Each structure stands twice: as structure tokens, then as C-alpha cells.
Structure 1
Amino acid sequence: MGSERGAGEAEGGSPRWSSFVALGDSFTEGLADADGDGFRGWADRLAEHIAAGNPELRYANLAVRGKLIRQIVTDQVPQAIELRPSLVALTAGGNDIIRPGSDPDLVAELFDDAVGRLRRTGAEVLIGTGFDTRGTPVLRHVRGKVGTYNAHLRSIADKHGAHVMDLWSMTVLQDPRAWCGDRLHLSSEGHRRVALRACDALGMPTAEDWNEPWPDPPEHSWSELRAEDIRWAREHLAPWISRRLRGISSGDGREPKRPCLEKVTADH
């Protein structure tokens, strides 16, 4: 996907993209990366990195929490095509994969179709693999399905010439501090590191390192850790299971936070 000037760069060293649209679910909406009355997230942070080299960048974020891949493909992809951006970030399928009985092969078919449609507009596409869920209490049982889906995603990227943001290999995200209190969404620091990883995937140099080691963690007693587990199960796990059983999505009735292409500032 890169040119002789290097992926993601135009002459003079500035990013070549004039417009950027992010598609997906809560991960791309930026849940848990609090920003005033809303959320920031890795995609907003990536837009800021691009805007640092191209102040004329226009950016839209169509991601909505809780969305399944068919909803993203049906609703968000046509909107993105209508906006005709030069760069699209598509991360989708995670909410499908964690559902009992879901088939990663079928989810990948929908993803493949979406990437193909976006690429036919002339846009460059950045996709993200699934995280390695071995350290996540709720999701470790779907690790095999995530691995299967990731294999499909890499094949799709090769087929269509897309950039790949490899989240599975980000072992730095195995640290609990990369996640917020619900243990399902990234913390602000986790989002910051993913944005840097995205820059790396796009060939954009940054002054920061996404793989920078964490400082030594604070020490906690066994009783403190167990009390935290009990609180998490009560405040986050039980409501999450309840919503799944009732077929309720956290994104029901929500609109995208940034539906139109608008300029962004280089410094948030």
C-alpha cells in the first residue's frame, strides 16, 4: 500500500490523506476514553496525529457502541462511501465473535465485502485485528474464535491491499492498566497506545512508542484484589450478561458522535 515516498506520507513528509472516516463499534467510538461530555478514543487520536502533518484533514467517526458487523456494513459503510474519504478505518466483528454460536467464517465474509466496497472507491483502508483475550476474564473462552477471525482478516487485507493494525501482537495491552474498570474497553492509556500502533501500521513516524514498558505497578493485597473482582462482577459483568440475555444493545437509539467530515486540531 505504500509508495516510494513511504506509506502515509506525501511529498514534504506530511500525511497524504485529506479526509478520514472511522467505522466500527465501542472500540472505535472510544468508550472509556473520557473527553468532557463524550469520548475520545484511538481513532480520534489517530486523526489528531494525521492532522499534525496535514491541518486541512477532515474527519468523521461513524462508530456506535454495541453494533454487530451486519449493522456496520449496512449502515456505516454506505455513509462512508458517500463521504468519499481518502482513508477509512474499519474495525468490526468483535461483538459478533463473543456471542455464543457465532461463526467467524461468516463474520469474515461480511467484513471482506465491506473492505472490497470501500477499496473500490479508491480509499485506503486500515483494519484492526482482534485482541488476544487470554487475560480477559469474560472473553478468554473465545480466544480460538478470535484467532480464526484474525487469520481471515489478514487474508482479506492481502486480497484488497489494506493496512493492518495488529492488536493481537500488542502484548503491552495485557497489562490491566490498559483497560478500564469494566475490563472490556480500553483505558485512555490503552487508546493512546493503539493510536500509536495505527500510526505505525500506516507508516507514520511518531515521537512516542506504543510498546513503551509500563512503570512498575502498585502492590495490592490478595483481599484487595478479590474485593475488586467482586465489585467488577456486580457492577459490570452482571449487567453485561443481562443485556445479552435480553437482546439489548448499549448502542440502541444512538447516533454517531461525528457524522460529518470536519477539520480536527493537531493538538487535542
Structure 2
Amino acid sequence: MVPEPLLPDSGRRVFVALGDSFTEGVGDRDERLPNGVRGWADRVAEKLAKAQPGWRYANLAIRSKRLRHIIDEQLEPALRMKPTLVTLYAGGNDILDLKTDMTALMAEYEKLVALLADTGATLVLFTDFDVKVSSLLEPLKKRNSFYNRQVRDIAEKYGAVLVDYWCLDAFHDRRMWDSDRLHMSKAGHKYLAGQVLDQLGVPHKIRPKDWEPPTPLGLREWERQQRHWIRDWVLPLFGRKLRGVTLGDELAPRWPEPVKVPRKGGLKKLAAAASAGAETS
């Protein structure tokens, strides 16, 4: 059952997305778009524009950002935009850092939510998903559970819309994940966009992939995939940690200022026009 629409029928329509790689769109590759990715938030913005013309959209999320970075770098610009819809996913990278004090983290998260809720915008929050990356990360499950309990309580306290990512069974299929096993694939981003739109009561035609059951991996194939995953993702990740750098250090927000989303052609149309203008200038 689709809920009643939560968004205004008229007036200002400004959607601002805050967060890290989850919201930037990592895993959903598209070289035609800023930072080479698309993601669920772009898809939500495009469906909003089709349902209600006039929506403007900014996406300030950058991969690898911790909660403190989101507060320091994204909050003030978001407030200046006077949003009517805000999505926030923050804290996932902090959870992966075993030095993080989870109680202190969630206290800061609540302060951020309170400031966003004070704008009067419709606010969308997300729980975390228990990604089955490796048995080495199983100790993080308690931290994930604590985070999710806190997010649910905070969403209720501040009247936020909650997308309970933890409970979305579709993400137990490995095809919903990119090759790094930490970020959603294109199919995962599309599915999540549909979940967000459902919670907002916005019509759409996004449907889950009609896949055949996944083929069980033989031992040899499993070992091959493990070797590739360690070589391509795990070792580079530890290398970056040792050097004190992240994948987001040299990146700017994908849509740093609210752009009017075309009803036809979507954000790819805007990106193409911007690229053509840059080439002729």
C-alpha cells in the first residue's frame, strides 16, 4: 500500500541529498554524469520532477566522508538552500573505524538531524545494512545494530521518514552489490530509489529485478573471487588507510547547487549541456 504523499503540492521544491558514497552513487557507474556515477538520489530527483514539475536538486554527498565531515562541509550549504526535502545517510564510515565511540557518534548524529528537522523540510533517514562482506567484519554487527536502533528512535523523535535499509531482504542477493561488496550495484541503487519514492508517496515504475536464483559458487570460483576481491579492493583500502588518504579527497560534490531537473532527459541532459558548454567556452 502506497502512503499518502508527504511532499507539498505547490510552492518551493528543493531536494538536497547529504552523506557519503551511499548517497553519492558509488557502484552505479555512469561516465556521463559528475564523478562518474548516478545512484539512487539522482533517480529519486528525476521521478520527483516527473511527478511534480519544478523540483530543484543538489547532491552534496562525497565518498569516504565521516559524520564530522558531513557536518563541517555539507550542513551549512544545505541550510542555505532552504530545502523542502532532505535525505541523510551518515555514520557508515565511522562504524567501520573501530576507534569510533558509538555513543558519541550518535549524539552528534542527533544534533545534525535536529538542525535539519528545524528547517521544516521533509527529512528522510536510513538505517544501515548488514553487508556480508567477510567473516572478519562480523564484530561490526553489534555496532550496526546499535546504530540502527538509534536511527529508528531519532527518526521517530523528529518526525523523519525512515527507510529501514536493514530490513530490505532484496539486498541479500549478491547481485545487488558492486564488486567491492560494500556499495550497491546499479540494480541496488534502482531498487533503493523505489523504496525511497514509496515512502514519500511518489508514483514510479521502478520494479525489482526479476532474476533467476543465483547460481551457487563452487569452491574454485569462490577462491578466485576472493583473490580478486582482496587484490582489487582490500589491499588498496589498507594502502589508503596507511597513507591517510581517501577516495573522496580530490572530489567535489556532484550537484553542488540546486539544479532544475528536466522532466525529459533527466540529469544526463543537464550534464551533456554542461559538457558541451565547457567544450565551446
* Fold match by TM threshold 0.5: yes
1:31 pairs, out of 26, 29, 53, with 26
1:159 pairs, out of 153, 157, 160, with 157
Aligned partner of residue 260 in structure 1, secondary structure: strand
State the Cα deviation string for residues 24-53 of structure 1 (Å, max 9, x = none).
001100012111241100111111121110
Residue 103 of structure 1, CA deviation: 2.1
CA shift in 2, pair 1:234/1:151, >3 Å: same
1:223 pairs, out of 220, 224, 231, with 220
Partner of 1:56: 54
Residue 220 of structure 1, CA deviation: 4.3
Q: Which amino acid aligns with 1:261?
A: P
Residue 218 of structure 1, CA deviation: 4.0
Residue 140 of structure 1, CA deviation: 3.1
Residue 101 of structure 1, CA deviation: 2.2
Structure 1 residues 190-201: aligned runs within 5 Å? 190-201=188-199
Aligned partner of residue 133 in structure 2, secondary structure: coil
Partner of 2:14: 19
Residue 252 of structure 1, CA deviation: 1.0
Would you say the 8 A contact 2:102–2:143 is kept in 1?
A: yes
Residue 75 of structure 1, CA deviation: 1.1
- State the distance in 1 between where 2:62 and 2:137 align: 21
Q: What are the ranges of 5 or more consecutive residues in structure 2 without an aligned counterpart?
A: 267-281
- State the distance in 2 between where 1:213 and 1:157 align: 32
Aligned partner of residue 159 in structure 1, secondary structure: helix
Would you say the 8 A contact 2:29–2:37 is kept in 1?
A: yes
Would you say the 8 A contact 1:42–1:191 is kept in 2?
A: yes
- State the distance in 2 between where 1:17 and 1:91 align: 23
1:247 pairs, out of 233, 244, 247, with 244
Q: Which amino acid aligns with 2:97?
A: R
Partner of 2:78: 80
Tell me whether 221-230 or 73-82 shows the greater mean CA deviation.
221-230
Structure 1 residues 5-16: aligned runs within 5 Å? 6-10=4-8
Q: What are the ranges of 5 or more consecutive residues in structure 1 without an aligned counterpart?
A: none
Residue 241 of structure 1, CA deviation: 1.8
Q: Which has the higher helix share?
A: 2
Partner of 2:143: 145
**Percent identity between the two aligned chains:** 37
TM-score scaled to structure 1, two decimals?
0.90
RMSD of the alignment, in Å?
2.0
